[in-house]
Structure 1
Amino acid sequence: MPFRYLGVPIKAGRLTKLECTALTEKMVAGIRGLGAKNLSYAGRLTLINADGSPKYHRVPLVPWDKVTLPKTEGGLGIKKADMWNIATVGKLVDLIYCKADRLWIKWINDVYIKNNDWHSYTPPADATWVWKNICKVKEKLKNGYVDSIWTVSPKGYSIKSGYEWLSPAHIHLDWSALVWNSWNIPKHSMTTWLRMQEGMNVKSKLARLDSCADDRCILCQLQPETVEHFFTTCVYSSKVHSYLVQWYGGCFPTVNDFVAAARNNIQWKVKVAMFNAFNYSIWYQRNNARVNDWLLRPEKVTARIEEDVKRKIKQKCRAIDDQTVLVWLQTMEVT
Structure 2
Amino acid sequence: MEVLSRILRVIHQKHQVTYHPKCGKLGLNHLIFADDLMLLVRGDILSVLAVTESLNSFAQMSGLHANPEKTSIYMGGINPGIKQAILTSTGYTEGEFPFRYLGVPLNEGKLNKAMFADLLTKVQKALHHWSNYKLSYAAKISLLNSYSDSSWVTWNFTYNIKSGDFWTMEPKSYHSESWRCILKVRNNLLEIAGGIPEAIAVLKDCMQQNKLKLHLLYDKFRCKGRVVSWARIVWTRAVLPKHSVFTMLAMQQRLATVDQLQRRHIMLVNRCVLCKEQCETHQHLFFKCRFSASVWQGILAWMNVTGRTMNLKKELHWIVARRQSRHWKAKWFVSYLSAVVYSLWEERNLRILQGLEHDSAYVIRKVQYVVKIRLLFVTHSSLDDDIVESINV
TM-score (norm 2): 0.50
C-alpha distance in 2 between matches for 1:205 and 1:165: 34
Q: Distance in 1 between matches of 2:252 and 2:360?
A: 26
* Partner SS, residue 268 of structure 2: coil
Unpaired segments ≥5 residues, structure 2 = 1-21, 24-146
C-alpha spacing 1:147/1:172, structure 2 compared with 1 (3 Å): closer
Partner SS state of residue 391, structure 2 = coil
The alignment-based identity, stated in percent, is: 22
Paired amino acid for 1:260:
A
1:278 pairs with 340, 361, 366, which one? 340
User: Does residue 257 in structure 1 map to residue 312 in structure 2?
Assistant: no
Shift of residue 328, structure 1, vs aligned partner: 4.2
Conserved in 1, the CA contact under 8 Å of 2:272 and 2:278?
A: yes
Say whether residues 1:179 and 2:234 are aligned partners. Answer: yes
Change (3 A) 1:136 1:310: same
Query: In structure 2, do the counterparts of structure 1 residues 256 and 135 end up closer, same or farther at CA, with 3 Å as the change threshold?
Result: same
Higher relative contact order (CA 8 A, sep 6+): 1
Give runs of aligned pairs for residues 204-243 of structure 1, distance below 5 A: 204-206=259-261, 209=265, 211-213=267-269, 215-243=270-298
Give the TM-score normalised by structure 1: 0.58
Please state if 1:329 is matched with 2:393. Answer: no
Of residues 204-213 and 301-310 in structure 1, the stretch that sits farther from structure 2 once superposed is: 204-213
Shift in CA distance, 102/206, structure 1 to aligned 2, threshold 3 Å:
closer
Shift of 1:202: 2.8
Report the equivalent of 2:42: none
Counterparts of 1:147 and 1:292 in 2: how far apart (Å)? Answer: 58
Matching residue's letter, 2:391: E
1: CA distance between counterparts of 2:258 and 2:175?
Answer: 57
Deviations 1:37-89 (A, max 9, x none): xxxxxxxxxxxxxxxxxxxxxxxxxxxxxxxxxxxxxxxxxxxxxxxxxxxxx
Q: 2:159 aligns with which of 100, 107, 111?
A: 111
How well do the aligned residues superpose, as a CA RMSD in angstroms? 3.4
CA distance in 2, matches of 1:226, 1:148: 46
How far residue 294 of structure 1 moved from its aligned partner, in angstroms, is 4.1
Residue aligning to 1:319: 381
| SS at structure 2 position matched to 1:211 | coil
Matched letter for residue 182 of structure 1: R
For this pair of structures, how many residues does the alignment match? 233
Match of 2:204 in 1: 150
Amino acid at match of 2:213: S
Distance 1:223 1:148 in 2: 55
Aligned twin of 2:246: 191
Shift of the 128–206 alpha-carbon distance from structure 1 to 2, 3 Å rule, reads closer
1:131 aligns with 2:171: no
* Distance of 1:264 and 1:125 partners within structure 2: 66
Structure 1: how far apart are the matches of 2:281 and 2:203? 53
Q: Are the counterparts in 2 of residues 243 and 302 from structure 1 also a CA contact under 8 Å?
A: yes
Max Rg structure:
2
SS at 1:332 equivalent: helix
The alpha-carbon distance between structure 1 residues 100 and 167, as it changes in their structure 2 partners (threshold 3 A), is farther
